């Protein structure tokens, strides 16, 4: 999971108070920081001078960019990325945006993972002699796109047009299997966005007008649009290519239309910012709904006196919204028994187990006055590896909690995700091969309550969701993904 953004506006007001592409990309990335904290980057393009400028590094957005380096990023078009590494873990070589200058000027960022990386890389090597220089699947996607652009063109005719873009997009959508929301720029064309045929990762389009001229934005979530003072235009459809050309005209092409969509349900549960809306469904509203369906499950246990909770307490921050709804539905006091240190990173998103365990120790402080002697209904958004839940429950009990019932706004995660989330191995998941009482025992809870698949779908209010990590029914072939995971693990050592 990563955050992506792309902006294009008029050349004549670029780098003015009204519009500064690099600065707006930077500000947008700040609001997408929750999607990835390993690295950040911005690439800009001056459509008049036909020149690229870029900077990227490991670290948080605000650590990578200061006024000094932002001022060097000129131009009226910018793409940006905030990285959560699933492959090529910490290497600087794999950072985004990626750019190529030949045979055509092109830059790209993406969010997701392709699951046929190795066979596609081999095909490109056999056919065109491609040597990949990084471990990032974006590099491969750029080459596939580039080949699609230049097919049928002579070497001295590299000027591309919209038909070439459509052909390249189709080539990529057919060949690259998996999840990807791409934002890119092709010299002479403008800004473009492309979403995989299942729509697994989100991409939205926004716009604002300054001095009668349009400024367009393609980004992962609406929270970035809001922050930049842009109005939401619409979601980019699965399999759709959106282009905003250098004259700021919008073009849209439905390149591939698949009947079955598979939007990642985890966006509403955990990934997306609560203030965002995806596919017309408010993330905050979905989380309230998740709390309400969870309350129905908890009520059954309260009625038969299996649990007698005194308070509802969230694991901050994502589950706070659901906790409020659950407490309201059950008529129980809502209390914050754990306070989060705002200056540490989210634990699940960190990319090694060691880092995750240390992060839990650092990030949550118990409020003893609210915990001591209480039966706590503790709400969390998910249980992935189980180590975080175990540490939190142990912390609550150490500070005097009498009983802890762990209530989860997600069904048990029993299958790996190959679409850009760092839990690709079934064996890493605590719910794999365990029933609910066994999970409770492992994490040290007195009881564990999960919602079921139908509850989840009802709370989000959308058909066509990917729930593969719950059901094991993957929306694409995953045969090669298993190999992908194995090689990835070898790479990580």
**Structure tokens given for 31:** 């609001």
Hey, what are 6's tokens? Answer: 């792309």
| Residue of minimal Cβ distance to ligand SF4 | 417
Cβ-based nearer residue to ligand SF4, 192 or 418: 418
Contact 185, 107 (CB under 8 A): yes
Least Cα distance to 113 among 138, 139, 134, 92 occurs for 138
Say whether residue 85 binds ligand SF4 (CB under 6 A). Answer: no
> Between residues 130 and 417, which has the closer beta carbon with respect to ligand SF4?
417
Question: Contacting ligand SF4 (CB under 6 A), which of 173, 236, 410, 417?
Answer: 417
With CB under 6 A as the contact rule, the residue among 468, 476, 484, 488 that binds ligand SF4 is 468
Smallest distance, Å, CB 16 to ligand SF4? 40
H or E stretch at 443: helix 436-443
Q: Which two tokens stand for residue 72?
A: 């060097």
The least CB distance from residue 203 to ligand SF4, in Å, is 14
DSSP 93: G
Contacts with ligand SF4 by CB under 6 A: the residue count is: 11
- Among 15-23, 306-314, 381-389, 466-474, the segment contacting ligand SF4 (CB under 6 A): 466-474
- Is the CB of 216 or the CB of 271 nearer to ligand SF4? 271
Tokens of 422: 């760092």
Stretch that binds ligand SF4, among 31-39, 93-101, 149-157, 461-469 (CB under 6 A): 461-469
For 391, the 3-state DSSP assignment is helix
In the complex, minimum distance from the CB of residue 169 to ligand SF4, in angstroms, rounded to a whole number: 22
CA 477 vs. chain centroid, Å, equals 21
In angstroms, give the least distance from the CB of 418 to ligand SF4: 7
Q: How far apart are CA 319 and CA 380, in angstroms?
A: 5
Kindly tell me which of 332 and 410 has the beta carbon lying closer to ligand SF4. 410
Q: How far is the CB of 196 from ligand SF4 (least distance, A)?
A: 11
CA distance linking residue 353 with residue 428, whole number of Å: 10
Q: What are phi and psi of 13, to 5 degrees?
A: -110, 5
Interacting residue with ligand SF4 among 87, 181, 295, 421 (CB under 6 A): 421
Pair 165, 252: CB distance under 8 Å: no
Task: Name which of 220 and 405 has its Cβ closer to ligand SF4.
Answer: 220
Least distance to ligand SF4, CB of residue 421, Å: 5
Cβ neighbours around 66 below 10 Å, total: 10
Is position 467 an interface residue for ligand SF4 (rule: CB under 6 A)? yes
* Tokens at 155, concatenated: 């070497």
Q: Does 449 bind ligand SF4 (CB under 6 A)?
A: no
- Chain centre to alpha carbon of residue 225: 16
Q: Which is nearer to ligand SF4, 64 or 465 (CB)?
A: 465
Other beta carbons within 10 Å of 368: 12
In angstroms, the CA 146 to CA 186 distance is 10
The residues carrying an active-site annotation are 2
Single out the residue of 2, 186, 200, 431 in contact with ligand SF4 (rule: CB under 6 A): 200
Query: 212 near 18, Cβ under 8 Å?
Result: no
**Restricting to residues 241-270, which ones interact with ligand SF4 according to CB under 6 A?**
264-266
Return d(Cα 490, Cα 63) in angstroms, integer: 30
Q: Which of 45-53, 64-72, 144-152, 464-472 is the region at the interface with ligand SF4 (rule: CB under 6 A)?
A: 464-472
What is the sign, positive or negative, of the torsion defined by CA atoms of 279, 284, 288, 293? Answer: positive
Nearer to ligand SF4, 27 or 83 (CB): 83
Q: How far is the CB of 475 from ligand SF4 (least distance, A)?
A: 7
Site residues (vs ligand SF4, CB under 6 A): 200, 264-266, 417, 419, 421, 466-469
């Amino acid at each position: 999971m990563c955050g992506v953004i792309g902006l294009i506006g008029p050349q004549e007001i670029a780098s003015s108070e009204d519009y500064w592409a690099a600065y707006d990309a930077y500000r947008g990335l700040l609001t997408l920081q929750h999607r990835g904290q390993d690295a950040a980057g911005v690439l800009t393009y001056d459509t008049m001078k036909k020149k690229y400028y870029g900077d990227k590094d490991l670290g948080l957005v605000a650590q990578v960019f200061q006024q000094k380096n932002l001022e060097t990023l000129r131009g009226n078009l910018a793409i940006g990325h905030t990285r959560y590494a699933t492959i090529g873990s910490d290497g600087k070589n794999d950072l985004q945006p990626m750019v190529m200058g030949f045979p055509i000027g092109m830059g790209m960022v993406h969010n997701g993972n392709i699951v046929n990386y190795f066979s596609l890389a081999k095909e490109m090597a056999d056919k065109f002699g491609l040597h990949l220089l990084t471990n990032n699947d974006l590099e491969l996607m750029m080459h596939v796109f580039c080949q699609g652009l230049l097919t049928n063109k002579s070497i001295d005719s590299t000027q591309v047009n919209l038909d070439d873009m459509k052909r390249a997009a189709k080539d990529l959508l057919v060949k690259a299997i998996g999840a990807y929301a791409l934002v890119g720029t092709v010299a002479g064309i403008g800004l473009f966005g492309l979403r995989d045929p299942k729509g697994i990762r989100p991409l939205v389009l926004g716009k604002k007008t300054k001095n009668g001229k349009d400024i367009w934005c393609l980004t992962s979530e609406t929270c970035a649009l809001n922050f930049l003072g842009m109005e939401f235009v619409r979601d980019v459809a699965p399999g759709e290519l959106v282009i905003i050309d250098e004259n700021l005209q919008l073009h849209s092409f439905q390149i591939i239309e698949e009947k079955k969509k598979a939007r990642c349900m985890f966006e509403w549960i955990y990934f997306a910012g609560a203030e965002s809306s995806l596919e017309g469904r408010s993330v905050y509203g979905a989380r309230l709904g998740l709390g309400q369906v969870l309350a129905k499950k908890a009520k059954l246990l309260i009625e038969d006196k299996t649990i007698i909770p005194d308070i509802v307490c969230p694991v901050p921050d994502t589950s706070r919204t659901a906790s409020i709804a659950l407490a309201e539905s059950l008529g129980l006091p809502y209390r914050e028994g754990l306070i989060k240190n705002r200056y540490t990173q989210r634990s699940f998103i960190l990319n090694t187990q060691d880092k995750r365990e240390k992060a839990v120790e650092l990030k949550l402080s118990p409020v003893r006055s609210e915990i001591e002697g209480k039966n706590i209904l503790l709400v969390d958004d998910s249980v992935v590896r189980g180590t975080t839940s175990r540490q939190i429950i142990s912390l609550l009990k150490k500070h005097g909690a009498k009983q802890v019932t762990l209530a989860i706004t997600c069904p048990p995660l029993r299958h790996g995700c190959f679409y850009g989330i760092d839990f690709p191995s079934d064996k890493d998941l605590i719910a794999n091969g365990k029933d609910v009482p066994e999970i409770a025992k492992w994490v040290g809870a007195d009881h564990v309550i999960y919602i079921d698949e139908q509850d989840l779908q009802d709370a989000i209010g959308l058909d066509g969701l990917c729930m593969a990590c719950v059901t094991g029914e993957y929306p694409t072939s995953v045969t090669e993904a298993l190999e992908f995971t194995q090689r990835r693990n070898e790479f990580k050592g």
